[in-house]
Amino acid sequence: MRQLITKRFAKWLRKRIPAENNQTLSHQKIFIFPSKFGAWYLILCGLLFVLGTNYQNNIMRLLCTFLLSLFLLHLFASYINFSRLRIKALPCSDIYASQTSVLPVELSYKGKAVEGVIHLSWWNEPDTKVISVPIESPYTHLVMPMLLLQRGKHRLGRLTLRCDYPLGLFKCWTHLDLDQTITVFPTPKTCHVNLLAHQGESNSSTLTFREGFEEFHSLRNFQNTDSLTRVAWKHVAKNNEWRVKTFEEPMPSSGFLTLESSDSPDLEVKLSELTHQILTLNKANKPFGFKFQELFIPPSIGEKHKNICLTALAHYPSVLDSEGTNDER
């Protein structure tokens, strides 16, 4: 029953608040209702009215009507403040299944300032974390933590934004679909890097790398040229400090990764181990080729190369039509 209602509501929401990456809050999108505190406030007004009537005390009645009109005005003040908000999803970094990752979000306003604290959470997700950010400047950046369990293509759910400004009497909220389709890569699983020579060249001369050459070294500040994979997201989420993980220099080598690079019998484990190998090689800045289903990529290096490979893994068993995936937005 509950599910049915949620489904209906979701359908209704789709119609009422269509998906869009960059959204301004219009009256269609905003819901407003007295908060719990607002309800108590109204009960208090009722009490004052009864007290004023019983003691035949006009000042108390006047206070009661004053509080009521203040309540009424706050309905508008709350709504107008919230309606000035703009929200935009920023490109997110690589996301791996079963690992906490984040969706960077930008809150902004033009013209008159939005005030108060905006509370964000994922809609219809039972144990979503509420992120609260005070709006203090025209642009506010934050990251929404999310946990996606399965690899593959994912459409992100709706984001609930809530604001209690100015007196907490009303809560304004909205459920926005920021139109984010993201590819979730398989969870990396530690294993040896197993680069295979291309079958055309020589008969399977296997080049093996020992695990451990890409040991974590230290954290340093983010520079524009850095790969987003190396950003320590935990730091960003916690302290809003952009830090990059650095690793010790690996040895150069070249070869191909194929499904045979992992010797696990389980397919998902295979994919996970391949993911790990791709990441390891990428971090080490080592060129590698990729042969997977119908995909054949000659050895190369770089973020783009890595992403094509990982996307292919993520989408397995469906085949990518071309290298045009949408994760480097």
Partner 1 sequence: MMKDSHSISSANAHAIFILTIAFLALTAALYAPLMSWVIILSVCAVVVRLSVYLGWYTKLPETRTINLLSVLTVIALAWLGWQQGLLLSMVNLLVSACSLKLMIIRTKKELLQLFLSLLFLSGAAFIFEQGVLFVLLYSIILMSLMVGLALQFGSNSSIYYQTKKLTILSLQALPIAALLFLVFPQLPPLWIMPSDQNSASTGLSDTIRPGDIANLSQSSELAFRANFETIVPAPPQRYWRALVLEHFDGEEWTISEQRAKQILRNKAYKKEFSLTPIGQPIDYKVYAEASRALWLFTLDAPIPANKTTQSKIWQTDTFAFRAEQPLLSAIAYDVQSYPSVKLNQTNKRFDQQLNLQLPKKGNPKTREWVETLRRQIPNNKDFAATVLNYFADPVFSYTLTPPLMRGDSIDDFLFEQQQGFCSHYASAMTFILRHAGIPARIVAGYHGGEMLDKQVMSIYQYDAHAWVEAWMDDEGWVRFDPTGVVAPERLTLGLEAALQNKDAFLANQALSLRKFKHISFFSSLRNTLNKVDYFWSRWVVGFDKEQQSDLFETIVGKITPEKLMYLMLSVVAIIALFLFILFAPKLGSNKREPSLTLYLSMVNKLEASSQCVRGTRSPTQYLNEVEPYISIEAFNHAKVITRLFVKSQYTNNIDSNQKSILSKMKYHFRKLNKEI
Both tokens of residue 316?
């397995």
E-strand spans in 126-269?
131-134, 139-148, 152-155, 159-163, 170-176, 181-185, 193-196, 206-209, 216-221, 243-247, 256-257
Whichever of 143 and 312 has its CB closer to partner 1, that residue is 143
CA distance 147 to 152: 13
41 binds partner 1 (CB under 8 A): yes
Per CB under 8 A, which of residues 185..244 are in contact with partner 1?
none
CA distance 30 to 211: 53
Binds partner 1 (CB under 8 A): choice among 21, 44, 91, 218:
44
DSSP-assigned letters across all residues of 221-256: E--TTS-GGGB-HHHHHHH---EEEEE--------E
Q: Which stretch binds partner 1 (CB under 8 A): 5-13, 66-74, 245-253, 303-311?
A: 66-74
Chain position carrying tokens 């996301």: 95
Helix, strand or coil, per DSSP, at residue 47: helix
29 binds partner 1 (CB under 8 A): no
Q: Which stretch binds partner 1 (CB under 8 A): 34-42, 141-149, 247-255, 269-277?
A: 34-42
Strand 256-257 and strand 288-292: the pairing is parallel
CA distance 91 to 135: 21
Binds partner 1 (CB under 8 A): choice among 13, 17, 25, 95:
25
Chain position carrying tokens 């009422």: 16
146 binds partner 1 (CB under 8 A): no
Binds partner 1 (CB under 8 A): choice among 20, 115, 211, 226:
115
174 binds partner 1 (CB under 8 A): no
36 binds partner 1 (CB under 8 A): yes
Whichever of 36 and 210 has its CB closer to partner 1, that residue is 36
CA distance 12 to 18: 10
Whichever of 77 and 259 has its CB closer to partner 1, that residue is 77
Please check whether residue 105 is in contact with residue 159, taking contact to mean a CB–CB distance below 8 angstroms: yes
**Least Å distance between CB 248 and partner 1?**
38
**Chain residues in the site for partner 1 (CB under 8 A):** 24-26, 35-37, 40-41, 44, 47-48, 50-70, 72-74, 76-77, 80, 83-84, 86, 108-112, 115-117, 119, 130-132, 134-136, 138-139, 164-168, 171
